Amino acid sequence: MPMSLDVGAHATAWTAGGPRTASGPALLPEQEGRANGAASALSLLLVEDNPDDAALCKAYLRRGVGADYTLSIAASGAQARAAFDAGAPDCVLLDYHLPDATAPELLAAWRDATGMLRTPVIVLTGLADEAAVAAAVEAGAMDYLVKDRLSGETLRLAIRGAITRFRLQREHAETNRRMEEFMHVAAHELRTPLTSIRGILQLGALRLASACADECMAGLPAMGERLSTVRTMLAGADTQVLLLNRLIGDLVDAARLDAGQLSLARTLQDLDALAGSAIDGLRLAHPERTLSWEGAGRPVPVQVDAGRIGQVLTNFITNALKYSAADRPVAIRLTVEDQAACVAVRDQGPGLTPEQQARLWERYRRVEGVSVRDATVEAGGGLGLGLYLSRNIVERHGGRVGVSSVPGAGSTFWFSLPVDTVPADP
């Protein structure tokens, strides 16, 4: 039944017995309730500037909401902000277009320090405007309803669903936060002894090198050879320590990614120089392997986190080395086309079937049926996080990843990044 709303200094409070007039703050021009004063009553905020639409929504709430509830109505964005600041309700029914604000603007104002909404919001629209709906959902709305399709049942289900989804989102966010804290503590506690172990291994290797030289000079080549064998064993142990450290880093990165906290420090970089530097480091780490590099032959400007893109390229090349025979080369090439720079890593390994390629980029995914062919690079298969992290890092830079492969003919893994268009000097 249509009714007028008093948006002045008085509010109309509603109880099960009917309306009564009472003085109240202007920010809550009208309140309705079936709570009988119960502290557990569901609190709703309706933000609607059209009195007829507000009255209709109230009528549907009376019919559809089975639990006790209190309803506050705000007729503008300013009133809605003030009502929200006075105490976040259990759910907000928000008109998309208000005289002084839009739904996405209010949704942005109702976020907490972590960037999450402080309460579930359902957006009400006059028309089934896909662009408006997409903007509201992207801003964080739990649901949207078209006004001329409202009913008591749709409102009841929408409110129940919004509150449930909001609670699950909060629980998920809290789980991610605790996981992030745990991973940071675990990484610190694990890396501390690994750092000490690596220092001891490197010191032992240096002393053995000196002892080997002394024994050889003293005419005891057999003893020198034995000491040299021990040096090789220490070098292998050092490699495994580095592997453990990398696996810990992958776990921490995956936890940060899941929590939305994997930060990127982007700066203007020359991708040609960045890739060349990463390849030089890998050549030093694997002097027995052949890495061929074909750069662009000119600077390739990109806005990237140099460390993260280096991590992606290192992962691609390490995989190529690991899954190809020790006497097989790995070729890396950088090309630029249509304002996109593409780095491709080509190996001569066993290749991949279309089924294997389809799930390569999933978290904790290790390809079945493909074994390590050069154990000097890495004896195990890892945690299945390298390609998952690489894909997410590249996509967060606005780029793409991919693979082309034929069983028995090797694989080419690639990633592309947008080239930065630096304006020429006048």
Q: Is 21 helix (H, G, I), strand (E, B) or coil?
A: strand
Structure confidence by residue, pLDDT tens digits, 137-192: 888 899 989 888 888 899 999 999 999 999 998 888 888 778 777 777 777 777 78
pTM of the model: 0.56
* Residue 17: per-residue pLDDT: 32
Helices (H) and strands (E) in the chain, counts: 10, 17
Could you give the CA distance from residue 50 to residue 290 in angstroms, rounded to a whole number?
73
Contact 276, 196 (CB under 8 A): no
56 plus 142 within the same structural domain: yes
Q: Is 371 helix (H, G, I), strand (E, B) or coil?
A: coil
146 plus 186 within the same structural domain: no
Closest listed residue to residue 120, CA positions, set 107, 109, 132, 129: 107
**Does 129 map to a domain?**
yes
Structural domain span for residue 352:
267-418
305 plus 403 within the same structural domain: yes
User: Phi/psi at 184 (nearest 5 deg)?
Assistant: -65, -45
291 plus 353 within the same structural domain: yes
Contact 132, 96 (CB under 8 A): yes
Domain count, the chain: 3
Tokens in use for 355?
């089924």
First to last CA, the chain: 68
Residue 51 burial (C-beta neighbours within 10 Å; 0-12, 13-18, 19+): middle
If you ran DSSP here, which 8-state letter would residue 111 be given? B
**Does 5 map to a domain?**
no
Structure confidence by residue, pLDDT tens digits, 250-260: 878 887 787 77
Contact 407, 350 (CB under 8 A): yes
327 plus 192 within the same structural domain: no
Structure confidence by residue, pLDDT tens digits, 84-141: 888 889 999 999 989 999 999 999 988 887 788 889 999 998 776 778 878 888 888 9
Could you give the CA distance from residue 226 to residue 330 in angstroms, rounded to a whole number?
34
